[in-house]
Amino acid sequence: MRREVLYVLIVALVFLIIAFWYYQYQEANKMETKFEVLLATYSPLDTLGVAIEFAYRSLLEEEGIPFRIANREDIFLYQPQEIVSHNPVIIFPDQISQKIPIEYEIWISEYVQLGGNVFISYDSGIKMRNDRYREKAVFSPLLGINYITYTKHLEDSHRIAKLQFKDEESAKYFQIPYGKLDENLNVTGYAYGSLDFPVARIEVTNLDNDEIYAYSVHEDGSRSPNIIVKRFEKGSAIYTNLPLGFLKAYGSDELLLRMILRTYLFKVVKIPHLSNMPSNKGGLVMNWQVDNNKEWSSINWSEKRGFLRQDFPFSCHISAGPWLEEEGDNLGFDAYNHKGLVKKLSNYGEIGSLGGWAHNWFAIKILNNKFTTEDIDRHIKLNIEVLSNIINKPIREYSAPRGLHTPYMTRLLNQENIYSHYYVGDTGSQPNRAFLNGKRFSDKIFAFPIMPMQSLSNVHEFGIERISPTEYENWLNKTLEHLVENHLTTLISSHFYDFKEYPQYVAPFQRFMDNAVQLQNSGKLLVKPMSYFTEFWNRLLKTKIEYYVKENNLLISIENPEGLKDIVLCLPKEDYKRTAGVDLELSEDDDYYYIRFTENVENKLISVLFR
């Protein structure tokens, strides 16, 4: 009897072991068929590497891209044909991809020939394991260029250069805003003019002119390729001669990383992804800054000229104190004694806090290190409290006077549940969870970069520099085109009194508002305050979506504890057939089907057929 019991137990145990390993096999197989972009990395990363990886990861999350961080040694364990169908893109970031094994040269070539796509940034594959520079980069044969020439040119192997797009069509293809380019199509920055970037010396071996989209323009006037896209029979490769991750993590300049990644993944490769815009529309934030007593008359003056309108809601940020430059000068807006103006503005948009009590005074105190963190805390909270009491609702937005935004202020905003702020870094880019010194400010707070016109950003500056009304209006309309075409959001900022002092810009701005409202009425644009978009993005980031390749289907599992309403799934038309379902609205353009969730359901399972 005991033997029989023992036999039964042994059989049961064997069955459990087999079942366990079968389950493990199924799970492993399930992971292998999961559709994801691979972000190549290695372990352990140093402090710089951690920041670079985090910068890429943060952006991919915000852009709704399905991705997985994968050790580059682990990727190499697979044969290209084993992963190309469900890992169709591999991203090799700058800095952390320097020591790519030489064996990748053949592996990547086969991967691309099978239909794979590779994103190669700046210095990927330039070093050997012993930290010595190679004579040519691992990816040089694939790209037709060599971007590591240290053994030949030593210190001159790296230079400083302008980034110049080949033509307007190339800049537009890479989603570069009109206001970020000068007359020579060099990338510019607010207050800086055309920007300088660190680049590698390039030697061309096999590159066609139509594969070049932008150039490095060196100090001696010479040019070399900077952004190139190689298209093969099935796959593709992109290279950019810029430290993109470093620029985002440490340079407060994420525009190029975002737009180059978006262009490659959404236009060249065309992968399934979530739109990062409500209902996949463009977005505009008009930010008015109210900081001194000029606004007592300017607000009413602007109202008479139609600047305050219900169909053009704005963000209006106010310094509430009674002084401006120094304590007691009575040049401030003095919100407490002008409650009527504050309430009037609140009827047309969202009231936010502009710094700590007095605009210039607050900024100067910080610049001169005259304020402790306790002083900053007290004055920001005072400003918020006064405004909140006037409008009888919480303050949800913030602007830093003169752009002086510190990590401490971010912690304070988190405490106050303020998740949107005006930002003079990352100019021209999509609102994002910004970085400073290699660290992200916050998991929830979105910085709204201003949209510049080259080195200028507001009507006061345009007036001083004698920008023509025609040029100003052209910039406004080109910006709207950029937002609608690329499904992006930006912020335009000014003061009401700017227009009173420079009335030549009033009529162009009125036509701009009419144009924006018309686009909004046609379903192409959202004109909203900052907090509207931030609320959506923080909900979007809670979305869990998984794509599985199974035979002739793409299975999509999507869920969000706060609901899926107005979240949009983007499916490339060249790969997938039309689909439909309950609670779904389908639209399309030349490249994508857009599936919008019309009800606030928490989860959905969608099956899409491959073509």
- Tens digit of pLDDT for each residue in 293-308? 999 999 999 999 999 9
- Tens digit of pLDDT for each residue in 371-409? 998 999 999 999 999 999 999 999 999 999 887 777 778
pLDDT over threshold 80, residue 422: yes
Q: For position 24, what pLDDT does the model report?
A: 43
The long-range contacts involving 390-395, CB below 8 angstroms and separated by at least 24 positions, are 390/335, 390/336, 390/339, 390/342, 390/343, 391/342, 391/343, 391/346, 391/351, 395/351, 395/352, 395/353
CA distances for 34 relative to 39, 276, 550, 551, 607, angstroms:
14, 22, 9, 12, 14
Q: What mean pLDDT is reported for the chain?
A: 93
pLDDT over threshold 90, residue 228: yes
Give helix 373-391 / helix 339-346 axis angle, nearest 10°: 80
| Three-state secondary structure call for residue 9 | helix
* 89 vs 67: CA distance, rounded Å: 9
Kindly state the percentage of the chain with pLDDT values over 70. 95
* 567 vs 542: CA distance, rounded Å: 11
CA distances for 145 relative to 5, 40, 82, 217, 337, angstroms:
71, 21, 28, 17, 66
Q: Pick from 443, 444, 384, 452: which is nearest to 419 by CA?
A: 444
Q: For position 6, what pLDDT does the model report?
A: 53
- Tens digit of pLDDT for each residue in 458-492? 999 999 999 999 999 999 999 999 999 999 999 99
Please classify residue 83 by burial: count the beta carbons closer than 10 Å to its beta carbon, then call 0-12 exposed, 13-18 middle and 19+ buried.
buried
* 111 vs 318: CA distance, rounded Å: 55
Q: For position 9, what pLDDT does the model report?
A: 52
Q: For position 5, what pLDDT does the model report?
A: 52
- Tens digit of pLDDT for each residue in 21-41? 444 434 444 444 899 999 999
- Over residues 73-93, the mean pLDDT reads 95
Structure tokens at 330: 């009575």
pTM of the predicted model as reported, rounded to 2 decimal places: 0.92
Structure tokens at 160: 């400083």
Residue 542 backbone phi and psi in degrees, to 5: -90, 0
- Over residues 128-133, the mean pLDDT reads 92
- Tens digit of pLDDT for each residue in 538-584? 999 999 999 999 888 999 999 999 999 999 999 999 999 998 788 89
CA distances for 523 relative to 283, 413, 463, 492, 596, angstroms:
11, 33, 33, 21, 13
Give helix 295-304 / helix 339-346 axis angle, nearest 10°: 40
- Over residues 157-162, the mean pLDDT reads 94
- Over residues 505-516, the mean pLDDT reads 98
Structure tokens at 120: 């190669």
- Over residues 158-166, the mean pLDDT reads 97
Q: For position 30, what pLDDT does the model report?
A: 45
**Higher confidence at residue 153 or residue 239?**
239
